[in-house]
Amino acid sequence: MVLKRLNKAISETGYCSRRGADKLIEEGKVKVNGKVAEMGVKVSPDDQISVNDEIITKEVAHIYLAFNKPVGITCTTDTSIKGNIIDYINHPERIFPIGRLDKPSEGLIFMTNDGDIVNKILRAKNNHEKEYEVTVNKRITATFIRRMGGGNIPVLDTFAKECKVTQIDDFTFRIILTQGLNRQIRRMCSFLNYEVKKLKRVRIMNVHLGNLKIGKYRSLTKEEFTTLNNSIKGSSKTEEASY
């Protein structure tokens, strides 16, 4: 009989990611066959898993969605928080976001029930591109574009790397990042004495937001998923920042 680690078994039910499962196990909220589970325990397909006394032993097909997150929605699975992304989407299966976009930002975010792919995509060191359109509060100058793209801007306890920045109009620019620093674009703009008025993510790796309307989601196409999956082989987990 094939055994698998409990956190992996939980993630495969679509309940949460492996990291989320580890936290639930540490908090004593997970039971296997009615007994509180310990970290590292392995389970078989015949074992009954429950979280907060709710049986979750249910395998469902993997779901991969592209969602156009509106401003004001919080990327959390904590449904006690008003305006959380889970209640907003109201999907019939348990899904969770891959990474985050902060509350004032909008645009593309992935939603899934596949805990394994979450760990792989969030590995920032793989240089996965994320593209944003950003509107600021005052006229953009050539110096601003050069400084934004040139790297060496302090962000938290490190520095932004060089990145591709192009001007769209007097107040809007496009930026392609491969780093995962917390609120990186907003912090970079602030350092240069600009304030972000609107921030929209329009692409993650090979998946584009396109004409997807705000607040709507769609399934990734077979071609999108195949390309994405091939690009993350060998990845391991980390945490993506919000912007």
102 in active site: yes
Distances (CA, A) of 192 to 168, 180, 185, 197: 18, 20, 11, 14
CA 75 from chain centre, in angstroms, equals 8
Within 13 A of 51's CA, how many CA atoms are on the CB side?
20
Which contacts of 207-211 are long-range, i.e. CB under 8 A and separated by 24 or more positions?
A: 207/66, 207/108, 207/110, 208/108, 209/66, 209/68, 209/107, 209/108
**From 47, 87, 102, 114, active-site residue:** 102
Token pair in block for residue 93: 């299966």
DSSP3 helix / strand / coil % (the chain, rounded to 5)? 25, 30, 50
CB 215 within 8 Å of CB 68: yes
> Which residues are catalytically annotated?
102
